[in-house]
Chains A and B, each alone.
Chain A
Amino acid sequence: MGRKKSREIVLKGIPVSPGIALGKAVFIKQDIMKPERLIVSPDDIDNEIDRLEKAVEITREDISKTRSRASKNMGEIVSRIFDAHMMILEDDVFFNEVKNKIRNERFAADFALFHEMSKTYNSLLSKQQEYFRERAEDIRDVGIRLLSNIYGKSNGTIIHGDEPVIIIARMLTPSEVVQMNRSLILGVMTDIGGMTSHIAILTRALEAPAVVGLKKVSMYHDRVNMAVVNGNSGKVVLNPSEKSVEEYIDKRRRYIEFYDRLENIKDLPCETIDGHRISLEANIELPHEVEAVKSHGAEGIGLFRTEYLYLLRNEFPDEDEQYREYRKIVEAMKDKPVTIRTFDLGGDKTTEGLEIGREANPFMGLRAIRIALAEPELLKKQMRAILRASAHGKVKMMFPLVTGISEYRKIKRIISQVKRELKQNNINFDEDIEIGVMIEVPSAVIMAPELAREVDFFSIGTNDLIQFTLAVDRGNAMVAHMFKNLHPAILRMIKMTVEAGHKRGIEVSMCGEMAGDPLATLILLGLGIDRLSVSPIVLPEIKKIVRSTIFADAKEFADRVIKMKTHDEIRKASMELMKRKFADLPIWFTNQGNH
């Protein structure tokens, strides 16, 4: 390593998890048989085609080498297996189709290839006869070679040794991030991803600085020894010069100092100068995050994303296992509330093992509560586990992607049945457990006045609400810039939801990404939100904003901006106010407001 001096390379991406890290860089190869659906911008088409062609070339050499080795060691008959592989590589008709997919559909090279190969692979695999099924394995073999060459050769798929490192990858899936040893991750940089991708949520949970959307960083991986990730500014520096290293060490020191000062308000309530108090809670994915939740002074867990219990292994944990995990968290939080959300799978979160076919539009497909209602046994198991955990502390149960009353009534009926069964078996649970729904679909906002008569609380999920209200796929690089949380339509939806809830005397909280956006805090406060649930890491910053504000001013500000007509106006007004009031917040040396 580091035999020759490499040139310093600076790239700019989207900062998704704050902080500054400096260290040795390693490249992580993907779960290559499952590239995600990636749409590239028109400018990247040629680059993707080039990537594909180079990968085919390298694969040809790989297979030819393998063939001669096989021929020498195992005989000519065995080596013929590789002739078939070679023929696949020489299939111009096929590769032209892949290129068409890149050109016309703007698929990324890996996804285009996977998409086309899957047609043949799946068709062969669907056959009864063994010999067709075996041929599917040939396709897979070539597919793996091609995909790994698209991603670039690597040292391996996992972090070797016990030295903490900075991870470079084309993209990381939630399961991959989840399976890494968190103490070995200094920072993360990826080609693909945006502000609201899962990698953002997960790196924040790990408190690892991360920059995504770097487009080509994975292509440099074999020329990188050291790297700097600046999760505040979105800059990454590969092979930093001595001067850059010093500069970043200094920046990191100032950043850490800011957070140290926030320590002082950790145990103080989240209330305005004039005594209007809201509850500030934390979102978690994994049980071990409870420590971070407590150390950042959260008043509870506003969102426990249970699906990660599934994503860890692609298999549903049974009732007892779920119960143990939930109970652990509930007990660790003592009497502070823990809101457990039922499995939110589907959409962009894999559902291997579930019988969901290919969906043209997965975000609007079989996901979240829809899966649960289609598989009531799964739902009952989870409800039982949550109810049993409610005997050990303050638990609330919450359901994702509810679109209206009838879904909620179905849920309620199942809960009553589960409660009855538990009672018959003399199993303890909290009979008055609060049941709430996520408000994350426009229809739920419109029906909020009616829903509020039947549920115990609302929790606004902003990622889906923005995606569906503005009709923007946040994973599509060409429209991702239209994903705007301060869009007047979004603010009005939040206002409607809060008003509908308060009219019926129920609490309205927000647990989406927007809850942790400092540019939105005063507006949300002014609109009357009761509870914010955020990544533990941004919690002190949000609390500082609330504690430095007079509630009447926040209300006035919210009233003013909600009358504005565009996102840009609202953002500008918020920026100006925040800059004036909070000159020392990290938001000013982060680019958080860029989305």
Chain B
Amino acid sequence: MIEKELLIINQHGLHARPAAKLVKLASQFKSDVYFIYQGSKINAKSIMGIMMLAVEKGAKIAVQINGEDEEKLMRAIENLLNSGFEELV
């Protein structure tokens, strides 16, 4: 299992569309992935879960991944988050 703290930089935080993109991305991988934010831990393959976290811009979330392709998934998530979900204004 690997864990990393990642910064959310896109303008509106993890709202519906970024959440949808994250779920789509995570679902392509076999590993289990969890986001931990402000005491809540949710399954990142669930859009309802990610939306429940309602992570704002500038917040840091802990990403916990466990499974055979955990390294690849972590890189993919990092890339997506760093890209600002292609919505940087």
Contact = CB atoms under 8 A, between A and B. Distances in A.
Contact of B51 (A92, A126, A135): A135
A91 B43 CA distance: 11
16 contacts: A84-B17, A84-B20, A87-B47, A91-B46, A93-B45, A93-B48, A93-B49, A94-B46, A94-B47, A117-B48, A120-B49, A123-B51, A126-B54, A127-B54, A129-B12, A132-B54
> Most A CB atoms within 10 A — which of B12, B13, B47?
B47
A442 B1 CA distance: 54
B69 interface: no
Interface string A72-114: 0000000000011001100111100000000000000000000
A402 to B, nearest CB: 39
Nearest to B14: A132
Contacts of B54: 123-124, 126-127, 132, 135
A91 B46 CA distance: 6
Contacts, number: 60
B2 interface: no
B22 to A, nearest CB: 11
Interface in B9-63: 12-13, 15-17, 20, 23, 43, 45-49, 51-54, 56
A131 to B, nearest CB: 5
A94 B50 CA distance: 11
Interface of B: 12-13, 15-17, 20, 23, 43, 45-49, 51-54, 56
Given A83-B20, A129-B12, A132-B15, A91 B53 contact: no
B23 A87 contact: yes
- For the residues of B in contact with A, the DSSP-based class is helix
| Range, interface on chain A | 20 to 34
A138 interface: yes
A119 B46 CA distance: 13
B57 to A, nearest CB: 9
B16 A135 contact: yes
Contact of A123 (B16, B45, B46, B52): B52
B8 to A, nearest CB: 13
Contacts of B16: 84, 135, 138
Given A92-B46, A120-B49, 8 more contacts: A93-B43, A93-B45, A94-B47, A94-B48, A123-B51, A123-B52, A124-B54, A129-B12
Contacts of B20: 83-84, 87
B41 to A, nearest CB: 13
A357 B15 CA distance: 26
A124 B40 CA distance: 14
B51 A129 contact: no
Contacts of B56: 127, 129, 132
Contacts of A126: 54
A415 interface: no
Contacts of A88: 47-48
